[in-house]
Amino acid sequence: MTPLSILELVRVTEETDARGALDNARDLAAHAEGLGYRRIWVAEHHNMPGIASAATSIVLAHIAAGTKTIRVGAGGIMLPNHAPYVIAEQFGTLARLFPGRIDLGLGRAPGTDQMTLRALRRAPENADNFPQDVLELQAFLAPAGPNQRIQAVPAAGTEVPLWILGSSNFGAMLAGELGLPYAFASHFAPELLLPALQIYRARFKPSEQLERPYAMVGVNIIAAETDAAARRLATTQQMSFASIFRGERGLSQPPIDDIETYWSPMEKMQATRMLERSIIGSPDTVRAGMEALVEETGADELIVVSDVYDHALRLRSFELIAAAAGIEAGGRRVLAAAG
């Protein structure tokens, strides 16, 4: 049984403000904990009115405070935007507050546009230092040496598990060389999924954190009682991707009956390519899709995006996904068919 986790987008919708999005994320985490999901992650995005997770470590504290056992983490922190020392302080503090439950996924992309990057007072060339920054961060999270004059307090000794995130071959090579777990963003960059996983496994070197390769695959899954109902719910995400190509950064929109009335042929082609590996449908459809994805990739874990507009229907989607996978919930196996 392949473990399931959640990548929570903290979407601000046309009917929900940022506070509502944050509370919905916390509520989803509590439900996911009961359903048997392994972890819930949020990502750092800036200058996007429809996403409320820019202050990622604060969002994680809010989510972790509403749960007890599920792992909570960043998927990810865009490390070139920050001094590694500050990220060590933030996530070391989270680890002290919620011991044994914090993950720290690290990405090399800025997570925003170039103008906003300047507002962050970060230079685009900072991405070139990503491998060194990962090692520096890892050192600050390790136990402090006897003569170490600069310590990240209270992070030293927490050894928060690091992950490398990627949507290209670079992250795969780095994760393999450093012996860290690797999460591939195939929920929006599916084309390089298989080559990246092959590179990661071939280049992997055991480390103190990890003895053998561990790959987590991102996947869009939207589940409903019928295939038709799921396809309608999926139009929310399809519209979001079409809006990206229009240069728009609006709020999440409610589903529509016919997506063809919304996007142009070019937008459809671009969005369909990015959403190529999405799994949309009834529990039977979802089960078959997940099984095929795991068989093809050898994924050790799937991290699921279920970008559904209505919060209650999104919770239901995650319930159906868990049921389709038969993951453990509250110490018992979820039935394959959700009632």
Tokens standing for residue 199:
């590179």
Cα angle: 96, vertex 99, 101; to 5 degrees: 125
Q: Which residue has the tokens 């685009």?
A: 124
Residue in 292, 324, 328, 334 with CA at minimum distance from that of residue 223? 324
Q: E strands of the chain, at which residues?
A: 4-8, 39-42, 71-78, 102-107, 162-166, 182-184, 215-223, 279-281, 301-305, 328-329, 332-333
List CB contacts of 157: < 8 A, sequence separation 6 or more. 141, 142, 143, 144
Residue 327 to residues 72, 168, 276, 302: CA-CA distances in angstroms? 18, 30, 25, 12
Q: E strands of 66-133, at which residues?
A: 71-78, 102-107
Residues 182/213, Cβ–Cβ less than 8 Å: yes
List CB contacts of 26: < 8 A, sequence separation 6 or more. 62, 63, 65, 66, 67
- Domain ranges for the chain: 221-326
Q: Which residue has the tokens 């928060």?
A: 160
- What b/e string do you get for 49-61 counting C-beta neighbours within 10 Å, with b at 16 or more? ebbbbbebbebbb
Between CA 108 and CA 188 the distance in angstroms is: 16
Residue in 9, 61, 69, 64 with CA at minimum distance from that of residue 35? 69
Give me the tens of pLDDT residue by residue for the chain, a chain 339 residues long. 799 999 999 999 999 999 999 999 999 999 999 999 999 999 999 999 999 999 999 999 999 999 999 999 999 999 999 999 999 999 999 999 999 999 999 999 866 777 887 888 777 777 889 999 999 999 999 999 988 999 999 999 999 999 999 999 999 999 999 999 999 999 999 999 999 999 999 999 999 999 999 999 999 999 999 999 999 999 999 999 999 899 888 899 999 999 999 999 999 999 999 999 999 999 999 999 999 999 999 999 999 999 999 999 999 999 999 999 998 665 444 433 333
